[in-house]
Structure 1
Amino acid sequence: MTESEYSHLADATLNRLEAALDAAEIDYERAGGSILEIEFADASVIVVNKQAAAREIWVAAKSGGFHYHWDAAAWRDTRSGEEFFTALARLISAQAGEAVTLA
């Protein structure tokens, strides 16, 4: 994948994530276009950011760090294979203490 293709896919994913967070009424901030911080009532955060050098999207949550690589159809965890939005809904639910669905 070229840097341009990566940038387009990663930006589209972060934009989709913003829309899903808005729909779920979850607080977040996007900094510099490549970092998105999801904020919780206990002052904890989940950080989602682009890693252009690795052509990945990285997530840092209370439960650990996760790397997602594009597999021609979706962003998938490099260890478990779990799809990005499925994993992020699980991580947000765990950190928020309530079930969250990302549409």
Structure 2
Amino acid sequence: MMDEATYSGLVAAAFKRILAAADGFDPDVLEADSTGDMLTLTSASREKCIVNTQRAVRQIWVAGGGQGIHFSYEPGQGLWLDDKGKGLELFRFVSDVVRSMSGEALTY
């Protein structure tokens, strides 16, 4: 398992990337709010996509689109991938959830 400093750095970079993509949206379409270990994306219809740390297991958890998915960092690939082996990648998954909520995908 990776150490806390490495995990924290990877999470900070992931949150920064998602927030930067969300900043490209009109706030009437999508709002982004980050507090501590949680990032919340809220659409005009008040649907939410929540991105949260899971520090004990060094994962990122995403709730949105009727699903809750845990992502683990795969250093060999440099990607956050779902822990069930479904082939889901964190940034693509969040973008797809935002598209279903707002009609527009996140562009990183």
* TM-score, with structure 2 as normaliser: 0.85
Evaluate the alpha carbon distance shift between residue 46 and residue 101 of structure 1 in structure 2; reply closer, same or farther with a 3 A threshold.
closer
Q: Percent identity?
A: 29
Root-mean-square deviation (CA), in Å?
Answer: 1.3
Gaps of 5+ in 2: none
Match status 1:83 vs 2:89: yes
1:50-83 Cα offsets, whole Å, 9 max, x none, are: 1110100001113210110000111011121221
Give 1:102 deviation, angstroms.
Answer: 2.3
Checking the alignment, whether the CA contact within 8 Å between 1:85 and 1:102 is kept in structure 2 is no
- 1:53 aligned residue (34, 56, 67): 56
Give 1:95 deviation, angstroms.
Answer: 2.0
Give the equivalent residue in structure 2 for 1:93: 99
* TM-score, with structure 1 as normaliser: 0.89
Gaps of 5+ in 1: none
Evaluate the alpha carbon distance shift between residue 8 and residue 77 of structure 1 in structure 2; reply closer, same or farther with a 3 A threshold.
same
- Regions of 4+ moved over 3 Å: none
SS in 2 for 1:12: helix
